[in-house]
Chain A
Amino acid sequence: MISSTKVAANIQSSSPGSGGMAPLIELNEISHSFGTRPDLAARLAISLKFAKPAARVQAIDGVSLAVRRGEVLGLVGESGCGKSTLGRIVAGIVSPTRGSVSWRGKDMKALPPSERREAKLRVQMIFQNPYASLNPRRKAADIVGEAPRVHGLVGGDLGTFVDEQFRRAGLDPALKHRFPHQFSGGQRQRIGIARALAVQPEFLVCDEAVAALDVSIQAQILNLFMDLRERLNLTYLFISHDLGVVEHISDRVAIMYLGRIVEEAPSEEIFARANHPYTRALLAEVPRIETTKRGFAAIKGELPSPLSPPSGCHFHPRCPHAMPRCRTEAPRLKVVAAGHKSACHLNDAAV
């Protein structure tokens, strides 16, 4: 079993609802770009102007975001907007090109190695594709039991420990000696959840964790996430393109577009009073069952390539309200109401 003092410390340090003020994880001006680093020959060629530097994808562009203890922060955006990269940076899988990540108010990079390892273990990730994120050659029990064994978190018998992890994720421990392909999609996602929870995390990054599941199974997994949040005082960064799911599960929502956060607000606020034109366009398409047939009013245009994002506000080529200023100047996130931030020049014009 997990050493009891550690568990007690976790429970003491956070109570749902009452806490929620101190940020558990804070991102400060994070930027991240992907691309190959030029080797010596390439650098020489570039400096002699024989070659151009290879294009780099600016996946994340100066994002600051705080996730408070005990809350569920929904991160919404379309493909290529950088939401998954941001999730991986939070989970410590990817190190950002610029900027810093703080854990409980301390810069991760400044922590001594043992504390940093401890902090990293407290943040776990659940991936979108339960078919790709489990090793097909290992039994479910090994997949779930490996990390706690390696990190020395299991005091007693590993078998009993794994059984308990299985039960907590809603799986029958009798199935633990099966391989991933012998489970259904929903069960596989439960194995992923059991694996993440086995190291007693405080923070879960769920990257499109229910996107690949059928509606009825999706509801089961979402309910499991909510149960676990209550029982284990978990904090979530819930990444999804599905506003219906995000609206249901999140306390706060941040909307990303092409590497930047364009709006951030409490759930009720954002769904009632969306400020940014992109958010409004997304909200018009929230999957809802209509009882009268309604047409589709789509915003125009394609998602621009992150290789060459538009100047100024990234959304301006598709925005129905774009002004000349939007083409030249990137808007900053500004407070528009209590707890509600939006990055749009229209807010200045209105004042």
Chain B
Amino acid sequence: MNATVLEVRDLRTHFGQAKAVDGVSFSVARGEVLGLVGESGSGKSVTGFSIIGLVDPPGTIVGGQIVFDGRDITRSSREEMRALRGRRMAMIFQDPMMTLNPVLRIDTQMIEAVQAHENVSRTDARARARDALGMVGIPSPDERLQAYPHQFSGGMRQRVVIAIALLHQPDFIIADEPTTALDVTIQAQILAEMQKLVAQNNTSLIWITHDLAVVSRLADRIAVMYAGRIVESGPVSDVLARPLHPYTAGLIDSVPSRNQRGERLRQIPGMAPSVARLPTGCAFAPRCPRADAVCAQAVPLFAAGPREHRCVHPLPELRV
């Protein structure tokens, strides 16, 4: 781990009254895998969209900075962002059927993606596309290039999307739940492939997911989001073994395999608040067993070494 590739400072992306992302800061080093974890509505996907410049109106970045490779790209023009996207940064989405154009063959789409950023011949672009398909483990890539998206299985389609993301060997990739819709055995294949590829190319990766089990095996660092804010971050094994924020602890405890078989699961009561009506203080306080009057005031960021959290009553005890 060395140079910082991406730094997000106090990012605020609002959809009118709804503060989907409200003061998110983190950084990603070269070759690092960051697991961005949260439940639906926590703002993890909007964070990803904000970085890559794909927030649709009414959503707007109302504050903060996104610094990519030493350059502030927060106010970049559409053209500038288009030159970066696909070449230096890429995003992989949950549903590959939405990413791929259903009426174009895979080769057409991949050649277009190569030629969008580089002045190369069609033959060369096709060769690049074929190599990329081979790299993500698609058998007989030459024939498969001529197929349409619907002729692939879900897992293979997601591999195609990953191959497209890797075409220009970007500096970093944002992956938004790309394996959530896949079967377990296929998910494991894709994760294995992804892990190998980012390690080979020293690519930085932000893996957005709700699945702590996947993050625990894939990521170097974890950031846990709740109601538009990062409530805790740090090295993945540290955070999962000794969570400091009660929400992180609650999430970990909700995973069935962390509980005695047949016993009641340790659940978090209540449900996540609406991001349109967030309290000034800790948004988790109404569901939190440790909350008291202090939690109603704005919570500062507490940092100790690589560990950061936003809780005035962090969990002290050592957990196993």
Contact = CB atoms under 8 A, between A and B. Distances in A.
B64 to A, nearest CB: 26
Interface string A270-304: 00000000000110111111111111111110110
B217 A281 contact: no
Contacts, number: 138
B77 interface: no
B267 A293 contact: no
A201 B185 CA distance: 35
Interface in B218-249: 218, 220, 236-237, 240-241
A296 B269 CA distance: 33
Nearest to A248: B256
Contacts of A218: 254
Nearest to B196: A295
Interface in B11-43: 39-40
Contacts of B189: 296, 298-300
B254 A296 contact: no
A215 B187 contact: no
A245 interface: yes
Nearest to B156: A302
Contacts of B259: 248
Interface string B260-273: 01101111110110
Contact of B216 (A185, A219, A289): A289
Contacts of B183: 78-79, 241, 303
B210 interface: yes
Contacts of A215: 39, 210, 212, 251, 254-255
Chain B, interface SS category: helix
B213 interface: yes
Interface string B183-212: 111111101100100000000000000111
Contacts of B266: 219
Nearest to A281: B185
A295 B217 contact: yes
Most buried by B among A247, A288, A289, A295: A289
A291 B237 contact: yes
A115 interface: no
Contact of A244 (B39, B241, B256, B267): B256
A241 B154 CA distance: 16
Q: Of A245, A287, A288, which is in contact with the most chain B CB atoms at under 10 Å from its CB?
A: A287
Interface string A127-161: 00000000000000000000000000000000000
Contacts of B140: none
Nearest to A185: B40
Report the interface size class on chain B: 35 or more
The winner among A218, A219, A241 for most chain B CB atoms within 10 A is: A219
B59 interface: no
A285 B183 CA distance: 10
Contacts of B119: none
For this complex, into which size category does the number of interface residues on chain A fall?
A: 35 or more
B255 A303 contact: no
A97 interface: no
B252 interface: yes
Contacts of B277: none
Given A247-B256, A294-B217, A223 B155 contact: no
A313 B39 CA distance: 40
B216 to A, nearest CB: 4
A229 to B, nearest CB: 10
Contact of B264 (A186, A223, A268, A292): A223
Given A244-B256, A285-B187, A289-B258, A216 B216 contact: no
B40 A222 contact: no
B192 A289 contact: no
A214 interface: yes
8 contacts: A215-B254, A223-B264, A244-B257, A249-B256, A287-B211, A288-B255, A290-B217, A295-B217
